[in-house]
Amino acid sequence: QCVTTLEGHENEVKSVAWAPSGTLLATCSRDKSVWVWEVDEEEEYECVSVLNSHTQDVKHVVWHPNQELLASASYDDTVKLYHEEEDDWVCCATLEGHESTVWSMAFDRSGERLASCSDDKTVRIWRRYKPGNEEGVACSGTDPTWKCVCNLSGYHTRTIYDVAWCHLTGALATACGDDAIRVFEESAVFAAALLLLLCHNSPGRAVTLHCSASVLRTSVEAEPSRKKRPRVSFSRHMSLMARAVFPVSFLE
Amino acid sequence: GRLSSALDIIRTIRDPEKPNTLEELEVVTESCVEVHEIGEDEYLVIIRFTPTVPHCSLATLIGLCLRIKLQRCLPFRHKLEIYISEGTHSTEEDINKQINDKERVAAAMENPNLREIVEQCVTEPD
Residue-wise pLDDT for A9-45, tens only, equals 999 999 999 999 999 999 999 999 999 999 998 989 9
Summarize pLDDT for A185-215 with one digit per residue, the tens. 987 544 334 444 444 333 333 333 333 323 3
Question: Which domain, by its residues, includes A179?
Answer: 103-200+210-219
A160 with A74, same domain: the answer is: no
Q: How confident is the model at residue B72, as a pLDDT?
A: 95
Q: ipTM, 2 decimals?
A: 0.91
Query: CB atoms < 10 A from the CB of A37, how many?
Result: 19
Q: How confident is the model at residue B89, as a pLDDT?
A: 64
Among candidates A57, A158, A198 on the partner chain, residue whose Cβ is nearest the Cβ of B79: A158
pTM value?
0.82
The number of domains in chain A is 2
What is the domain class of B1-120 according to CATH?
Answer: alpha beta
3-state SS class at B17? coil
What gap in Å lies between CA A94 and CA A51, rounded to an integer? 13
Q: How confident is the model at residue B64, as a pLDDT?
A: 95
A177 and B79 within 8 Å at the Cβ level: the answer is yes
Q: How confident is the model at residue B56, as a pLDDT?
A: 76
Of the candidates B71, B99, B45, the residue with the CA atom closest to the CA atom of residue A119:
B99
Sequence letter at residue A152: L
**Is residue A238 one of the residues assigned to a domain?**
no
Q: Would you say A63 and A19 are in contact if contact means Cβ atoms under 8 Å apart?
A: yes
For chain B, give every domain's residue range: 1-120
A107 with A140, same domain: the answer is: yes
A172 with A122, same domain: the answer is: yes
**Is residue A137 one of the residues assigned to a domain?**
yes
Q: Which residues of A touch B97 (CB under 8 A)?
A: 75, 100-101, 119
Q: How confident is the model at residue B53, as a pLDDT?
A: 77
Best of A9, A15, A55, A57 to mutate (most B CBs within 10 Å, chain B):
A57
Query: CB atoms < 10 A from the CB of A13, how many?
Result: 16
Per-position pLDDT tens, chain A of length 252: 999 999 999 999 999 999 999 999 999 999 999 999 999 989 899 999 999 999 999 999 999 999 999 999 999 999 999 999 999 999 999 999 999 999 999 999 999 999 999 999 999 999 999 998 888 888 888 889 999 999 999 999 999 999 999 999 999 999 999 999 999 998 754 433 444 444 433 333 333 333 332 333 333 334 444 444 433 333 333 333 333 232 333 332
Among chain A residues, the shortest Cα distance to B41 is held by A202
A150 with A184, same domain: the answer is: yes
What gap in Å lies between CA A60 and CA A160, rounded to an integer? 13
What gap in Å lies between CA B47 and CA B54, rounded to an integer? 18
Q: How confident is the model at residue B126, as a pLDDT?
A: 64
Of the three residues A72, A96, A120, the one that is the final residue of a domain is A96
**Is residue A13 one of the residues assigned to a domain?**
yes
Q: How confident is the model at residue A188, as a pLDDT?
A: 53
Per-position pLDDT tens, chain B of length 126: 899 999 999 999 999 988 999 999 999 999 999 999 998 899 999 999 998 877 778 899 999 999 999 999 999 999 999 999 877 666 889 999 999 999 999 999 999 999 999 999 999 876
